[in-house]
């Protein structure tokens, strides 16, 4: 087994309870994994338990099992986001000036411990859980587990990476605006966000106390359901706790945004993967296109309305006494709440009530929603340059969920060419948590997802797939421009049936022009190669007009970079589409 193969909470607990292994043996392996991954991404953690203390906790679990207890999470190692209190470890919320030593663990931690789970440490996060990116922490930036050029997602960044890298079997996050769902999508995980109040938030540093939910990241749906069974339940010490309820979905009418409301911010891969996910969902339910404008308006209230003041209230003392202790971007987001008036708050509450009534009407026509978890993802460098605008893009499909009292579960929906994950989120009315997990299982059973890509342990190089259709094909006169750049042959393919191919006039050596025409096109044979970014850049710089590098759609619906042509390329050109490709044309000459 790989040192970083993902862990199963259910399998570990079964092994410990049956005597096939021991909690101590599991913990020894976990300690070794933690030490090994520290060399690659120490930024995942803010604090970790002492290995001796972890071994002692494991020995206690083994003693309980030996005494006849059957523990649902016997010996399972897990992590907690560092805005959740764990006795014996400081809570920082990623702000050293805010740190304190909790007198007792949060309710969710106490319930996990009673079930036999062992907390190995506290994970990094966007400070005060303000962000969907994972770049806003003085403890460093946890990067995507599969491509470290890209963000891990936030605010539960460290929890997602720790789970994706196989350091723990599950990790607790939190979710106010999508922080328990966005990192799940980017790291190929399940992100379960329960209904508000289903899991106690006593012992959680609030972001927006009336909206906050504690969440879990897992590799599999069964583990999310297992953790929910352990944690869910009323907590009289939590003013926002609600008695557990499990409500069935009325059916499988699945609401999806109208075509014109689907925003992918120019990310054609994400658009393709979402369409493919909808095709899978159509096998297990009925897709219903709905107007999502009321949901999008509700989403704007979270950061563009008076709920900013609720974030301000959570850190008001520190904001007043030591504002420079707060991350500049986080401070920019939350500081305006100090100036908001009570009239703004009440007007916001009134408008949210109207939007909630619209959402109630929406549930009469659909039973659940299936949205992209995010429309795209970004590199860390991009987020550092435009931290607020790009973060806002990531919240388009997430920000409304808690405001409108909905349950949600994020699941994988494909791998992008940069190895990061794309996901969808299934959303339902409050208390449909278990039903959403069941619906997610039905979807995954038909989704036909590819195996996970390898972890990025620092030796990964970003690459670009390039389609060539003419003089750069193997055996053709310009193929050397690829081989000299160590391009790797990916495979032969054809375009989608939306292109026409022309032999340009007076081109030396002879070259084709590939033109997207939509209807009236045909499939054109091509070859796909993979180059590192620097080689791709140098190759592109040498492409002469009237040719250019654009995006080409393949027959399987995926997109790659490839040769396209300016209109002037067709002057005097011969239409050779009927031949199906450049090789056939050359042979015909």
Catalytic residues: 81, 155, 179
Instruction: Return the number of other C-beta atoms located less than 10 Å from residue 27's C-beta.
Output: 23
Nearest Cα neighbor of 387 from 141, 163, 124 is 141
| CA separation for the pair 186, 184 (Å, rounded) | 6
Q: 3-state class of 80 per DSSP?
A: strand
What are the b/e assignments for 290-308, b being 16+ CB within 10 Å? bebebbbbbbebbbebbbb
Q: Considering just the CA atoms, what is the radius of gyration of the chain in Å?
A: 26
CA dihedral 320, 325, 331, 334 (to 10 degrees): -50
| CA separation for the pair 80, 84 (Å, rounded) | 7
Nearest Cα neighbor of 369 from 266, 227, 262, 272 is 262
Q: Where do we find the tokens 């990241």?
A: 217
| CA separation for the pair 584, 73 (Å, rounded) | 62
| CA separation for the pair 356, 342 (Å, rounded) | 21
Helices (DSSP H) in 250-292: which residue ranges?
A: 268-281
Query: Do 160 and 153 touch, CB atoms closer than 8 A?
Result: yes
Nearest Cα neighbor of 344 from 316, 320, 317, 310 is 310
Query: Do 198 and 225 touch, CB atoms closer than 8 A?
Result: no
Q: Where do we find the tokens 């609720």?
A: 310
DSSP letter string, 366-404: -SEEEEES-S---BHHHHHHSHHHHHHHHTTTTTHHHHT
Dihedral class, residue 8 (left if φ above 0, else alpha if ψ from -120 to 50, else beta): beta
Two structure tokens written together for 450: 């590819």
């Amino acid at each position: 087994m790989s040192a970083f193969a993902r862990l199963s909470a259910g399998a570990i607990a079964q092994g410990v309870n049956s005597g096939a292994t021991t909690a101590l043996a599991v913990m020894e392996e976990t300690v070794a994994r933690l030490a090994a991954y520290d060399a690659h991404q120490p930024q995942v953690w803010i604090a970790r338990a002492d290995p001796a203390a972890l071994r002692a906790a494991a020995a206690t679990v083994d003693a309980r099992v030996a005494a006849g207890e059957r523990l649902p999470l016997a010996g399972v190692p897990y992590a907690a986001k560092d805005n959740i209190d764990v006795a014996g470890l400081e809570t920082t919320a990623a702000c050293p000036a805010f740190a304190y030593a909790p007198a007792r663990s949060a309710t969710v931690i106490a319930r996990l411990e009673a079930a036999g789970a062992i907390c190995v440490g506290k994970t990094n996060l966007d400070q005060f859980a303000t962000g969907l990116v994972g770049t806003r922490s003085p403890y460093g930036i946890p990067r995507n587990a599969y491509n470290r050029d890209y963000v891990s997602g936030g605010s539960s960044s460290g929890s997602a990476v720790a789970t994706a890298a196989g350091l723990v079997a599950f990790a607790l996050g939190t979710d106010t605006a999508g922080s328990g769902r966005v990192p799940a999508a980017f790291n190929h995980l399940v992100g379960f966000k329960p209904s508000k109040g289903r899991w106690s938030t006593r012992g959680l540093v609030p972001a927006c106390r009336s909206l906050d939910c504690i969440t879990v990241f897992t590799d599999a749906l069964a583990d999310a359901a297992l953790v929910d069974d352990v944690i869910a339940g009323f907590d009289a010490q939590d003013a926002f706790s609600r008695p557990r309820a499990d409500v069935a979905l009325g059916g499988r009418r699945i609401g999806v945004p109208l075509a014109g409301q689907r925003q992918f911010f120019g990310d054609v891969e994400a658009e393709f993967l979402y369409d493919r996910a909808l095709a899978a969902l159509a096998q297990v339910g009925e897709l219903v296109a709905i107007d999502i404008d009321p949901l999008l308006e509700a989403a704007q209230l979270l950061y563009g309305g008076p709920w900013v003041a609720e974030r301000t209230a959570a850190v008001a003392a520190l904001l007043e006494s030591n504002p420079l202790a707060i991350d500049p971007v986080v401070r920019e987001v939350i500081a305006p709440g100090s100036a908001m008036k009570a009239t703004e708050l009440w007007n916001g509450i009134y408008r949210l009530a109207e939007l909630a009534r619209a959402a109630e009407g929406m549930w009469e026509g659909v039973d659940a929603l299936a949205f992209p978890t995010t429309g795209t993802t970004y590199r860390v460098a991009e987020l550092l340059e435009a931290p607020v605008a790009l973060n806002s893009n990531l919240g388009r499909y997430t920000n409304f969920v808690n405001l409108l009292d909905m349950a949600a579960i994020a699941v994988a929906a494909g791998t992008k060419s940069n190895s990061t994950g794309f996901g969808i989120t299934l959303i339902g009315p409050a208390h449909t948590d278990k039903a959403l997990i069941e619906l997610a299982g039905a979807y995954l059973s038909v989704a036909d997802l590819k195996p996970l890509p390898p972890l990025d342990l620092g030796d990964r190089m970003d690459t670009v797939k390039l389609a060539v259709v003419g003089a750069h094909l193997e055996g053709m006169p310009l193929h050397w421009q690829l081989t000299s750049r160590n391009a790797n042959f990916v495979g032969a393919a054809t375009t989608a049936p939306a292109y026409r191919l022309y032999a340009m006039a007076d081109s030396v050596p002879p070259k084709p022009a590939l033109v997207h025409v939509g209807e009236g096109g045909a499939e054109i044979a091509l070859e796909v190669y993979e180059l590192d970014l620097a080689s791709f850049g140098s190759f592109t710089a040498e492409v002469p007009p009237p040719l250019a590098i654009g995006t080409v759609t393949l027959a399987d619906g995926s997109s790659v970079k490839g040769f396209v042509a300016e209109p002037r390329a067709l002057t005097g050109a011969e239409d050779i589409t009927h031949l199906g490709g450049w090789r056939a044309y050359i042979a015909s000459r």
